[in-house]
Amino acid sequence: MLLSSRVKGIHDSITMKLNEKAIALTEEGKVIYNLSGGQLPIKPTPEFVEKIHHQLNFLKSYQYSPSAGFPALRKKLLDRFIGTRHLPADLFDVDWDVILSNGSKHSLYDALGALVDPGDEVILLAPYWVSYPEMIKFWGGTPTVVRSNVFDAFVPAIEDIRKAMTPRTKAIIVNSPNNPSGVHYSEAWMREFAGFLRDHPDLVVISDEVYSDITYFDPRPTYFYQHDPGLLPRTVVVQAISKTLAATGLRLGWVIAPASLVGAMSRIQGQTTSGPNSLIQRALLDFDFHFIESFLTPVKTHIRQNAATLREKFREANLGHCWYQSTSAFYFMLDFSRTPMFQRFDPELDHSYAITDELLEGEGITVVPGTDFGIPNTARISLVIEEVPFQEAVSKIVRYLNHT
């Protein structure tokens, strides 16, 4: 069948593919350390599961929701945002709204659809989440990439963002805490970024905050609009239950944004998916958000512990120069380019796929190649698996990295 030129440019989701490969190898009886996971390997907090059970009893849970989601839930999410970000509530009295979608991937897709015209450029800060470039291209836009590196703990320089601006630049996506680096940008960075935005009054900012509840090292993330609330009218905030509530499969995400954008997204949604999942929305409306903290406390302790294991094993193996302190989300970026193993490779080219394949075939370890995150010769590892298999996996990784 002849496919559209639009869809021909779209790559497969690498993380989904890797997950499938790891599952297939496990089913063949191989011992696989799956460090590719972008989700918590646990069920959501029981208080939330109980709310889902309860909502099963009502007819409304099985019927269409309004296309932007139930108004009471939208109000609850806006209030939580204002409260957790310590923003002046009166700023949101008028012209603000929330739209729920089937996961925040879907929220981002609709938001870009409502903002990007063919030929528009959208700035991405590498390493970036794999789906951003594909979504931008799908809507006819062009991703412009600003890179960072391991020496700066993968925090991009504002000066480099400034240089990437052209008259066609429509928007910039900022993802802090960041997938895949596992760091969040500092308060100083956010202040400087706010200053940069003031110099570019037409630039729209998409702030992907799906990991904002998952930070295990102080200081906690802040956001540019907290330093200058005047930037909010051109800010699009993206949130979800996926990471915070260990509920990736329930598919509920949302955008908090000026009402004009939410209205446009709602029109897209009304003609595509109709609206988000009614049952899960109703359970979330009933759920007390205070349970999130107690649910995430052991999760954060666990991720911090695995990050410490990484530091110790790297230090023991003289790989300390490849280490930086991750602080949030589930991840860490391995930089292959300065390890003994890399001597076999041409440094001018990107070998992320070949190296991650060797790790899988030789050591039984699944990691995600950095190519799709916009940083060559790196890979993302996930810190969420159990402590003992994580220690075993890291021992294998450092042995591999030091092997010439």
* Chain positions contacting ligand PLP, by CB under 6 A: 38, 103-105, 129, 175, 179, 208, 210, 240, 242, 248, 253
Quote the CA–CA distance of 212 and 225 in Å, as a whole number: 15
- Minimal distance, residue 390 CB to ligand PLP, in Å: 20
Q: Which amino acid makes up residue 298?
A: P
Of residues 121 and 208, the one with the C-beta less far from ligand PLP: 208
Q: For residue 386, what are the CA distances in angstroms to 35, 265, 359, 382?
A: 11, 39, 19, 11
- Minimal distance, residue 357 CB to ligand PLP, in Å: 22
The Cβ-side half-sphere exposure at 310, using a 13 Å CA radius, reads 24
- Minimal distance, residue 104 CB to ligand PLP, in Å: 3
Backbone angles phi, psi at 278, to 5 degrees: -70, -45
* Cβ-closest position to ligand PLP: 103
Of residues 193 and 373, the one with the C-beta less far from ligand PLP: 373
- Minimal distance, residue 128 CB to ligand PLP, in Å: 8
Of residues 181 and 352, the one with the C-beta less far from ligand PLP: 181
- For residue 295, what are the β-bridge partners? none
The Cβ-side half-sphere exposure at 233, using a 13 Å CA radius, reads 8
Quote the CA–CA distance of 116 and 168 in Å, as a whole number: 11
> Quick one: three-class SS letters along 99-157?
EEECCHHHHHHHHHHHHCCCCCEEEEEECCCCHHHHHHHHCCCEEEEEECCHHHCCCCC
Of residues 103 and 376, the one with the C-beta less far from ligand PLP: 103
Quote the CA–CA distance of 174 and 146 in Å, as a whole number: 11
- Minimal distance, residue 238 CB to ligand PLP, in Å: 7
- For residue 333, what are the β-bridge partners? 380
- Could you write out the DSSP letters of every residue in 266-292? HHHHHTTT-SS-HHHHHHHHHS-TTHH
- Minimal distance, residue 208 CB to ligand PLP, in Å: 5
- Minimal distance, residue 132 CB to ligand PLP, in Å: 8
Of residues 40 and 398, the one with the C-beta less far from ligand PLP: 40
Quote the CA–CA distance of 36 and 385 in Å, as a whole number: 10
Of residues 32 and 135, the one with the C-beta less far from ligand PLP: 135
Of residues 66 and 127, the one with the C-beta less far from ligand PLP: 127
Q: Which amino acid makes up residue 212?
A: S
- Minimal distance, residue 316 CB to ligand PLP, in Å: 31
The alpha carbon of residue 9 and the mean position of all alpha carbons in its chain are separated, in whole angstroms, by 22
Of residues 339 and 372, the one with the C-beta less far from ligand PLP: 372
Of residues 109 and 314, the one with the C-beta less far from ligand PLP: 109
Quote the CA–CA distance of 147 and 160 in Å, as a whole number: 8
- Minimal distance, residue 396 CB to ligand PLP, in Å: 25
